Amino acid sequence: MHLLDPEHLDLAALASAFPRDFIWGAATSAAQIEGAAFTDGKGASIWDAFCRQPGRIKDASDIDTACDHYHRFRDDIALMRGLGLDAYRFSFSWPRVQPLGEGAWNEAGFAFYDRLIDALLEAGLQPHATLYHWDLPQALHERIGGWLSRDIAPRFADYAAEVARRFGSRLASIATHNEPWCTATLGYETAQFAPGHTSRAESLQVSHHLMLSHGDAIAAMRAETTAKLGIVLNHTPSFPATPSEADRRAARIDDGLNVRWYMDPIFRGAYPADVIEHVGADAPRILPGDLARIGQPLDFLGVNFYTRNLISATGQAAQGPGRRGFTDMGWEVVPEVFAAHLVRLGREYSPPPIYITENGMANADRVVALPQPHVPDAERIAYLSGHLQALATAMGLGVDVRGYFYWSLLDNFEWNSGYTKRFGLFHVDYATQQRLAKDSAHWYHSLIGHHRAKR
């Protein structure tokens, strides 16, 4: 695949590679931007608690204020409008609307999302919602063991049904989970994310409960709404660091744990047998009927793509051939893998229509004061342009993709990295909460403008 660098790229030509009804968006999540962590009756989430544990977050920060989006959402919607976005992807905070994760609803919490959705619609933006972007009610974690308990599935389904009942007619789509691999693996195996456990067996059991809760939530929401329903998976496909048989086998398993572990039960009705065999006694307990509950028909698949894994059987840091740029997260920039992966998904799973629900990069951005304050982020423009060219290529090969959401609208709380990583199209000065469009925001705006001109 030959990619043009942004300076030689004809933006009008790139825009014209996307169909007329393709939607352009940006994404965020509740815990990362809202702040107002204990305002208007919101309950604590596992991230509110995790941030208070010493050593968990790189800059020892918390999400009490974050980007203060709870109070500034109208200004942030004005930024989206200024960009020319068609759509905005956000998440509901479960503990904001149901502080204990079961039982009573918090009307003041629902009122916030009511205002947000109305304001988005008034601004001509399609609202795309996610139910779970990692902020589990702490009370549910403490009372039943959170995702470790099978009993969480009906509770999650109740929450999903309530959201669908109240908001379904105004939402363009509802996704159950964002990146269940992260919830399970980073939260329960590597301890990088809340709640900070270190057990592979727990992580795999949690992944199964996440899948069960997904299926139950889809079924419960179908009874309440005609909104498009789906799930958002993070795909980091794995490749062998060398052509050796051992590396190839290790990469296949890694890919199995990351990609196939979630795709297969949803779209093929079974967990991948080679991975089950590989994890041995750590395999989750699966009851008869579980896979039928999980495999509900979906209206869309959300794919979050950032990078690839290079895997070596010896477990040493892989040094693959042709390594080029890396982002500020240390993630390799591989747009051609993005194209190839989308083609693979189409071939292996025949999924429903796809949305790219996240794609973006962290960059060491800084504000340059003169001639007027601006943020020169040529690296992000190159990342965006490379991935959009790759997306156009995949779509040209027949992959049905309906929209693209850049991650993220704003710089925000990057989980265990705190506020040290900047993914936004808008720079946020956390001391003043001032937002400033980066050069990439201007680039994205002009791409969208070219696309709109042909509609």
Active site residues: 179, 358
Closest to ligand IFM by CB, 102 vs 411, is: 411
The residue among 93 and 304 lying less far from ligand IFM, judged by its C-beta, is 304
Footprint of ligand IFM (CB under 6 A): 29, 32, 179, 304, 358, 407, 414, 423
Nearer Cβ to ligand IFM (225/236)? 236
Nearer to ligand IFM, 423 or 426 (CB): 423
SS (H, E, C) the chain: CCCCCHHHCCHHHHHHCCCCCCEEEEECCHHHHCCCCCCCCCCCEHHHHHHCCCCCCCCCCCCCCCCCHHHHHHHHHHHHHHHCCCEEEEECCHHHHCCCCCCCCCHHHHHHHHHHHHHHHHCCCEEEEEEECCCCEHHHHHHHCHHHCCCHHHHHHHHHHHHHHHHHHHCCEEEEEECHHHHHHHHHCCCCCCCCCCCHHHHHHHHHHHHHHHHHHHHHHHCCCCCEEEEEEEECCEEECCCCHHHHHHHHHHHHHHHHHHHHHHHCCCCCHHHHHHHHHHCCCCCCCHHHHHCCCCCEEEEEECCCEEECCCCCCCCCCCCCCECCCCCECCHHHHHHHHHHHHHHHCCCCEEEEECCCCCCCCCECCCCCEECCHHHHHHHHHHHHHHHHHHHCCCCEEEEEEECCECCCCHHHCCCCCCCCEEEECCCCEEEEEHHHHHHHHHHHHHHHCC
Q: In the bound complex, what is the minimum distance in angstroms from residue 53's beta carbon to ligand IFM? A: 19
CB nearer to ligand IFM: give 29 or 45: 29
Closer to ligand IFM at the Cβ: 179 or 290?
A: 179
**In the complex, what is the shortest distance from the CB of residue 414 to ligand IFM, in angstroms, rounded to a whole number?**
5
- Give me the least distance between CB of 408 and ligand IFM, in Å please: 7
Return the number of the residue (30 or 79) whose C-beta is nearest ligand IFM. 30
Q: How far apart are CA 157 and CA 218, in angstroms?
A: 8
Minimum distance from residue 43 beta carbon to ligand IFM (Å)? 20
Least separation in angstroms between residue 178's CB and ligand IFM is 6
CA distance 47 to 420: 17
Cα–Cα distance measured from residue 178 to residue 183, given in angstroms and rounded to the nearest whole number: 8
3-state SS record for 124-140: CCEEEEEEECCCCEHHH
| Shortest reach from residue 421's CB to ligand IFM, in Å | 8
Provide, rounded to whole angstroms, the least separation between the CB of residue 331 and ligand IFM.
Answer: 9
